[in-house]
Structure 1
């Protein structure tokens, strides 16, 4: 059976966000952490959607040219292929270029491509091509967002997504604006755009439903954007009777101990670290320069501290920062994430943990890659954009491990303890 949908995630946190949307929509899905061979695919015969988790948001355009075509091919034949970006769309011409990924996808799958970034389920909104994102009780234009405007690697300095992409690609970008969608003129606006790629506004689920219906009706093969793409398709599939509503999901059981590994410098994560310490979690701050120099002694120090605390039945947080680092901090999310992942791997193999939380996009992508996991499947809801997932791995210590992969902005102050309790 041809999958309804396939996606490549530009980081691991966003990749599990898509798993959540598919699970809520009643679409059995699997997220591969390596290009799947036939034997691995055969372990998930009921999957109607497949994903491949990647780390392209921290990579160069040259890396994308070398690796993305094969990654798209590894997804196999699907009705639509989605290049999944963060809902904050942060990217730059030299790092995580969404424009370059768009060019590669268009070459392989043909034009036109849809660009859907609005994800109201995550409080991300696109109106008249401008992106807005919430933090706490407030919503900000993305170039004025207190965190994303100052991201250490890919700060968002432009809210108009067409202008933002113009710095990354020469591909003409058309636009379907909000007022035309609300007036029932989405088809006419799409035809009038007449461009190789078309950006769709979206503020509410009704806007996504209209977009999803157009994607199905026009047979588009390629899309770029947040899990708003997935949500639009799920709504359209359900409206067309292609998938049925699933039963309400069961909550996950609590665990007695939780390991948290954080490379995030988000204020939201900083508040979570502080709250966890107040809740009795033990915590240790990593010597980041030592990790970036590849000093195994620092990795051993962090792992030993975590293992001892977990043996004493305490939950534990290993973290690299407590909030923003400032513009002078080195952009080294890939190396830091890999080092923290090696720490986590040491702890998992000595402490026999049932559940681990990774915080931060680069930490999740490069950290989880150190664990030897073949695939992830959705397990239970925890927080929008950060579900509980279950690992499939050859290593019996890792096989069945439960993980939550959280972007820096996700969750209230008590998020760590909610993950430990199961939601």
Structure 2
């Protein structure tokens, strides 16, 4: 029976935290949306429910998150985790604070930590401020994010604008003093009525300390990094047994392809680094309703099987803004997602059984188009990005990559594995 239930606000974030748990020795299943009865196998230690709630109305995000919580509780989970992006993507309306409030209320829990730190990928928190590399979050490309522009690096201030409850901070000095000191600091804040607590972290050792300190908490929130310390904490509490082969996936034959929809700097660098056949899709033509997907599939048909191919709808921020100004944010985003979905169906029908997808929205569109209901989590390609295998009679290997993650050679590196 599963121990830990995770509610993730997008698809790639779900895969990210699932991969972290597998590295910690937890056999993990990711479901696409709230799982139906009978989907979760008995040998699973952790279940990650992948939602698409990061940028929708807060009330809808809350409703979907509570539905996921109900399903996870029915599956027997005793601990819960709300996963959001390591860049805390949100606006003053939410959705991190409102969902955190709702989950705390439903669990009758007094407090939750907020820690999107992922030092291995350059995300650190110091005095409550989120850094990406050596830059404050507000000084990075995230300042210009088309849906969730992050113009304030203070997580305490950002979160305080999303909730009516008190928001506090445990600074790095108290984290690095050890799990007992951190636990005492959290308890003191709880006694003062502080419901939401941002916790500093600048290294993986800090995340291990945090995991031990919150090992008994009903609800933890954060990026995937904070999950580093949870498996060991659960093991020390007798909740988790040691197992081998937790990242094993079935062997899958077939052609390989990449679908890139993210416009992040990391994905743009990966596209530039790709050495194989690459087709850059005409996003303006997509928004005009022209048959771009059909033309792209025709281009791909003569290249499949020889080497991985890449089809991208990614572009630089200025070009994205121009497209959105011309057609509207919702229309342009929807048109591109629908095109990527058609491409995924067409590629799989043509024999692609190993597919890398870059971007959270694109990944959501692809798994929906392919009718994927659940994924077993396999070995990691780069920090935060594992291979997965769809559950069913004819599994597909899928790597669902957050736009911000992965080294420049990620697309090449991915196909050197499974």
Q: Same fold (TM over 0.5)?
A: yes
2:231 maps to which residue?
A: 234
Aligned mates of 1:238, 1:206 — CA distance in 2: 17
Partners of 1:155 and 1:290 lie apart in 2 by 26
Q: 2:116·2:225 contact (CA, 8 Å) conserved in 1?
A: yes
1:23-422 map, 5 Å: 23-41=22-40, 44-76=41-73, 77-94=76-93, 97-110=95-108, 111-134=110-133, 139-145=134-140, 147-184=141-178, 185-194=181-190, 195-216=194-215, 219-240=216-237, 242-244=240-242, 246=244, 257-276=255-274, 279=275, 281-292=276-287, 295=289, 297-310=291-304, 313-324=306-317, 325=319, 327-330=321-324, 331-332=329-330, 333=333, 335-349=335-349, 351-393=350-392, 399-422=394-417
Alpha-carbon distance between aligned partners in 2 of 1:334 and 1:223, rounded to the nearest angstrom: 32
Shift of the 250–104 alpha-carbon distance from structure 1 to 2, 3 Å rule, reads closer
Cα distance in 1 for residues equivalent to 2:301 and 2:162: 44
- Provide Cα deviations, 1:28-84, integer angstroms capped at 9, x if missing partner: 11111132233222xx21001111111111312132244222122122242211111
Tell me, in whole angstroms, the C-alpha distance in 1 between the residues paired with 2:402 and 2:337: 13
Which secondary structure does the structure 2 equivalent of 1:412 belong to?
A: coil
Q: Give the whole-Å Cα distance in 2 for the aligned partners of 1:17 and 1:207.
A: 19
RMSD, matched Cα: 2.5
Cα 1:9/1:249, change in 2 over 3 Å: closer
SS state of the match for residue 418, structure 1? helix
- Aligned partner of residue 357 in structure 2, secondary structure: strand
Quick check: 1:13–1:364 contact (8 Å CA) kept in 2? Answer: yes
Alpha-carbon deviations, 1:375-416, whole Å to 9, x = none?
1011222111111111114xx5xx311011111222222211
Q: Is the 8 A contact 1:58 1:362 kept in 2?
A: no
Deviation at 1:251, TM superposition (A): 10
From the superposition, tell whether residues 337 and 52 of structure 1 become closer, same or farther in structure 2 (CA, over 3 Å).
Answer: same
Give runs of ≥4 in structure 1 deviating > 3 Å: 238-243, 245-257, 289-293, 325-329, 331-335
Give the Å deviation of 1:93. Answer: 3.3
Q: Equivalents in 2 of 1:192, 1:359: separation in Å?
A: 42
> In structure 2, the residue corresponding to 1:411 is in which secondary structure?
coil
Deviations 1:175-219 (A, max 9, x none): 211111223421231122121222221112332222222212xx3
Question: 1:25, 1:238 within 8 Å by CA — same for their partners in 2?
Answer: no
Superposed CA deviations along residues 299-322 of structure 1, whole A, max 9, x for unmatched, are 2222222233216x2432111123
Deviation digits for residues 324-377 of structure 1 (CA, Å, limit 9, x no counterpart): 33544423445523431221112111x212210101121112332211011101
Q: Shift of the alpha carbon at 1:27? A: 0.8
- Equivalent-residue separation in structure 2 for 1:167 and 1:150 (angstroms): 20
Aligned mates of 2:282, 2:321 — CA distance in 1: 19
CA contact (8 A) 2:259 2:311 kept: yes
Gaps of 5+ in 1: none
**Alpha-carbon distance, 1:86 to partner:** 0.9
- Does the 8 A contact of 2:261 with 2:358 survive in 1? yes
Q: In the TM superposition, what is the alpha-carbon distance from 1:240 to its structure 2 partner? A: 4.8
For 1:1-40, what aligned pairs fall within 5 Å after superposition? 1=1, 3-40=2-39
Secondary structure in structure 2 of the residue aligned to 1:82: strand
Preserved contact between residue 180 and residue 186 of structure 1 (Cα < 8 Å): yes
Q: Distance in 2 between matches of 1:176 and 1:261?
A: 40
TM superposition shift of 1:171: 2.3
Question: Shift of the alpha carbon at 1:227?
Answer: 0.9
